[in-house]
Amino acid sequence: MSNELETIKFRLQEFAKERDWDQFHSPKNFSMALIVECAELVEHFQWLTDEQSKRLPADTLDEVSLEMADIMIYLVRLADKLDVDLLESVNRKIKLNAEKYPIEKSKGLAAKYNKL
Query: Tens digit of pLDDT per residue, the chain (116 long)?
Result: 689 999 999 999 999 999 999 999 999 999 999 999 999 999 999 999 999 999 999 999 999 999 999 999 999 999 999 999 999 999 999 999 999 999 999 999 999 989 89
Q: Say what the pLDDT of residue 1 is.
A: 66
Options 3.30.9.10, 3.30.1370.60, 3.30.70.140, 1.10.287.1080; CATH of 3-84? 1.10.287.1080
Compute the distance between CA of residue 101 and CA of residue 116 in angstroms, rounded to an integer.
8
Q: Say what the pLDDT of residue 33 is.
A: 97
Residue intervals of the chain classified under CATH 1.10.287.1080 are: 3-84
Name, in order, each residue with C-beta under 8 angstroms of 78's C-beta and a sequence gap of 6 or more. 27, 30, 31, 34, 84
Q: Say what the pLDDT of residue 3 is.
A: 93
Q: What is the pTM of this model?
A: 0.90
Q: Say what the pLDDT of residue 60 is.
A: 98
Q: Say what the pLDDT of residue 74 is.
A: 98
| CA 11 from centroid of its chain's CA atoms | 18
Q: Say what the pLDDT of residue 71 is.
A: 98
